[in-house]
Amino acid sequence: MGSDPVTGPGVPLPVEDEAPAEKERPKADPPEALPAAVIDNHTHLDAVGCADPDDVRQVMDRALAVGVTGVITVADDLESARWVARAATWHEAVYAAVALHPTRADTLDDAARAVLSELAGQERVVAIGETGLDYYWAAAPHEVQKEAFAWHVDLAKRVGKPLMIHDRNAHEDVLDILLAEGAPETVVFHCYSGDAAMAKVCADRGYLLSFAGPVSFKNSRDLHEAAQVVPADRILVETDAPFLTPHPQRGKRNESYALPYTVRAIAELRKTDLESFCNTVMANTIRTYALPHVQA
């Protein structure tokens, strides 16, 4: 369904590509504060460099200073799943999502299923993710990824929590599996990378699309069009920090405090008042994840 801007020419690649050099890159400059609060729908606090409650507090202090009043920190592997679940108890504005990344699908054995099932039931764990399919990397075989994805779909339905999807070069198969397995009530395409046609399909099915830094890149035309056509009640925002830093900080290390760059870019694309757009995505985030003690 069109080209994938996240893997297009000159566009930074996701987590696995940049990880070795992350600590060496300078951090993004802080943006102007937003006129209304938003929540970072997808970040990786462990990859940002957080190790303990004090690290998490410092990240949240920087985020709060620019209007980012909460984050969902997302697991990559089993160790990360355990960590994000703990980190979500260290700060009132931090929540977690747990799953095995599709490139780790071949590690989803019975023991891993038991751990993820237990973590998924915790109150501060608000989503099952990131799971899905990744056909860019020669990692877990495609059939193994599909089986793991189907298991995560079932887990999300069993615990009644949103499914947070990683979809890289696998649009058709992701959509087909959701249809075949029966999607959970709430589905979120993290770091949406499809085009406007796919965005319309997703919206028609009731899925939500979460946009990250690449939507702010000048050469991401498919993403620009997708961000313009997605209905207002289907849109979310994220950093995917420390990766995919938005323009004009591209090339620097991302963190939740940089989210306002992406929020402003989308509001401009949609020709929407910035404060109104912030209020819309905040209401969508609270509704999507049923976040306790948060008000729009």
Distances from the Cα of 255 to the Cα of 10, 117, 131, 190, 272, angstroms: 21, 29, 22, 16, 25
pTM > 0.85: yes or no: yes
- Of 296 and 127, the structure prediction assigns the larger pLDDT to 127
Domains of the chain (ranges; CATH) run 36-289 (3.20.20.140)
DSSP H helices in 100-141: 110-120
- Residue pLDDT, tens place only, 105-124: 999 999 999 999 999 999 99
Mean pLDDT of 173-181: 97
Asked whether residue 9 carries a pLDDT value surpassing 60, the answer given is no
> Could you tell me how far CA 1 lies from the centroid of its own chain?
21
